[in-house]
Structure 1
Amino acid sequence: MEHMIDLSGISWQQDQKTILHHVSWQVKRGEHWAVLGLNGSGKTTILNIINGYIWPSKGSVSVLGHPFGTVDLRELRKSIGWVSSSFQERMHYNDLTDYVVISGKHASIGLYEKPLEEDIERAHQLMRELGCGHLIGGRYRTCSQGEKQKLLIARALMASPKLLILDEACNGLDFISREALLASISELAAKPDAPTLLFVTHHTEEIPPIFTHTLLVRRGTVFASGLTREMFTSQTLSAFFEMQVDVLWQKERAWLSVK
């Protein structure tokens, strides 16, 4: 499988309004990508198309080597994990943290049967690997927002996805929680058996160096795509944001300031 994601000439219209216009994007096996864009730029629409929740008005889509129109999208979604801060409130407030993670195997909200011992062991392993082993046996309601994000990532990994989408994963986190989460994501992405990761954000400083490629999305189009180091220059990002910015690279992350 050469391309994990292959979007070719994608357009999508709603209520006679064009949301996406001629979007083309290829993600190869072994690449981890950041997707950067301001609110309303079309990032979430692209994700919905990748997951098969909406169908493009024009263009072709292939995900995990399966061209859309030739694959059962319900089955395909079992190989895609999608984690968003908005998912936090969908979990059952009083559930055990272990059960929140295990529910990812069944793509359900909550567990409705006694979990297998092997599933419990895997959930605990994932929680430890993501730096939240101390939450084992606790209640979801007592977790901080950052801890809930780690649990949701562990939940997505329970199904052993080939593609993992982290959608605004740092939204609402304080500085310490954000850095702890980014460290866990970087460790996950560096594993030899890691899924292909997409990290969706509108803050360059949130993007760890493990995301070597970046897609810049603006007003429903691809502004540019390629190596992160080449995308995150003062010249390119000034044109992208349509205002003069300076880029300072610090510990392999790009920090912006307005000129």
Structure 2
Amino acid sequence: MTNIINMQGVSWQRQGETILSDVNWNVSKGEHWAVLGLNGSGKTTLLNMVNGYIWPTTGNISVLDQQFGKTDIRELRKSIGWVSSSIQERIKGREFAEDVVVSGKYASIGLYEGPIEEDYKRAYQIMEQVGCRRLAERTYQTCSQGEKQKLLIARGLMGSPDLLILDEPTNGLDFISREELLSTIDHLAIQKDAPSIIFVTHHIEEILPVFSHTLLLRQGKVFDKGERSALLTSPCLSEFFDTSVHVQWHRNRAWMTLQD
């Protein structure tokens, strides 16, 4: 496998309105990307397209070297781990944490198939890896927001995916919980067998050094894409956000403030 994601001339329209326009984007095996954009920039639409929930109006898409229109999307999704608020909202609060994680093997919300003992052993190993093993046997509704996000990441890893998509995973977290979660993601990304990770955010300070590449999405169009260090600069982001900003680097992370 060489290409994790390949989009060529992709556009998507809804009720006559263009949501994504002429997107060209290639993610190669071994790369971790951040996708940066304000609310309404088209990030969620882009992710739904990668997962095969919506199809391009124009253009071609292949994910994990599987071309859309020539592959079984339901089978493809089993190789994609996805963490998003939409999934979190659909999980029943009374479900046990380990069952939430195991359900990721089947790419389902809830357990409808009979998991085996090996499934739970693997779930506990993954929970240990992402720092939430102690949550086993607790119900989902008793977990904090940060704990729920770790469980969802563990769930996303349960199927040994080749691609892991993290859609604004730090939303709703306080500063300490956010940094703990980012540390978990960083630890995961540097593992030899780590999946390619797409990290979606609208906060540049969350773009960790492990995310070597960044896609800037604005109003449904690719504003720019390339190496993180080249894009997270004061001139580039001032033009991107259409307002004057100042970027400072601290411990190899970019931090942005409005320019006086």
The TM tier, using the shorter chain, reads over 0.9
Query: TM-score, with normalisation over the residues of structure 1?
Result: 0.97
1:203 counterpart letter in structure 2 = H
How many Å separate the matches in 1 of 2:90 and 2:145?
13
2:2 counterpart letter in structure 1 = E
1:247-258 pair list within 5 angstroms = 247-258=247-258
2:149 counterpart letter in structure 1 = Q
What residue is the counterpart of 2:232 in the other structure?
Answer: 232
How many angstroms does 1:87 deviate by?
A: 2.1
What residue is the counterpart of 1:245 in the other structure?
Answer: 245
2:127 counterpart letter in structure 1 = M
What residue is the counterpart of 2:57 in the other structure?
Answer: 57
How many angstroms does 1:122 deviate by?
A: 0.6
What residue is the counterpart of 2:133 in the other structure?
Answer: 133
Moved more, 103-112 or 211-220: 103-112
Moved more, 88-97 or 242-251: 88-97
Q: Are 2:4 and 1:12 equivalent residues in the alignment?
A: no
2:94 counterpart letter in structure 1 = N
- Given that 2:214 and 2:226 are in contact with CA atoms closer than 8 Å, whether structure 1 keeps it comes out as yes
What residue is the counterpart of 1:76 in the other structure?
Answer: 76
How many angstroms does 1:202 deviate by?
A: 0.6
How many Å separate the matches in 2 of 1:125 and 1:27?
28
Question: Alpha-carbon deviations, 1:220-256, whole Å to 9, x = none?
Answer: 1000000001010000000000000000111111111
Moved more, 82-91 or 234-243: 82-91
Instruction: Give the 3 Å change call, closer, same or farther, for CA 112–71 of structure 1 in structure 2.
Output: closer
How many angstroms does 1:51 deviate by?
A: 1.1
User: What stretches of structure 2 of length at least 5 have no aligned partner?
Assistant: none
How many Å separate the matches in 2 of 1:3 and 1:51?
15
1:25-174 pair list within 5 angstroms = 25-112=25-112, 114-174=114-174
**What secondary structure is seen at the aligned counterpart in 2 of 1:156?**
helix
- Given that 1:8 and 1:25 are in contact with CA atoms closer than 8 Å, whether structure 2 keeps it comes out as yes
How many Å separate the matches in 2 of 1:89 and 1:236?
36
- Given that 2:247 and 2:257 are in contact with CA atoms closer than 8 Å, whether structure 1 keeps it comes out as yes
**What secondary structure is seen at the aligned counterpart in 1 of 2:149?**
helix
How many angstroms does 1:89 deviate by?
A: 2.3
How many angstroms does 1:112 deviate by?
A: 3.8
Query: TM-score, with normalisation over the residues of structure 2?
Result: 0.97
1:121 counterpart letter in structure 2 = K
**What secondary structure is seen at the aligned counterpart in 2 of 1:154?**
helix
- Given that 1:85 and 1:149 are in contact with CA atoms closer than 8 Å, whether structure 2 keeps it comes out as no
What residue is the counterpart of 1:207 in the other structure?
Answer: 207
- Given that 1:127 and 1:151 are in contact with CA atoms closer than 8 Å, whether structure 2 keeps it comes out as yes
**What secondary structure is seen at the aligned counterpart in 1 of 2:78?**
helix
**What secondary structure is seen at the aligned counterpart in 2 of 1:30?**
coil
How many angstroms does 1:114 deviate by?
A: 4.9
Moved more, 184-193 or 72-81: 72-81
**What secondary structure is seen at the aligned counterpart in 1 of 2:194?**
coil
The alignment covers a number of residue pairs equal to 259
- Given that 1:33 and 1:198 are in contact with CA atoms closer than 8 Å, whether structure 2 keeps it comes out as yes
Moved more, 93-102 or 108-117: 108-117
1:226 counterpart letter in structure 2 = G
How many angstroms does 1:109 deviate by?
A: 2.1
How many Å separate the matches in 1 of 2:60 and 2:24?
9
Question: Alpha-carbon deviations, 1:84-132, whole Å to 9, x = none?
Answer: 1332221121111111111111222222455311111111111111011
- The runs of at least 4 consecutive aligned structure 1 residues that moved more than 4 Å come to none
What residue is the counterpart of 1:184 in the other structure?
Answer: 184
Question: Alpha-carbon deviations, 1:153-192, whole Å to 9, x = none?
Answer: 1011111111110001000100011011000001111101
**What secondary structure is seen at the aligned counterpart in 2 of 1:94?**
coil
How many Å separate the matches in 2 of 1:149 and 1:118?
23
Question: Alpha-carbon deviations, 1:41-69, whole Å to 9, x = none?
Answer: 01111111111111111111111011112
1:94 counterpart letter in structure 2 = R
* C-alpha RMSD of the superposition: 1.1
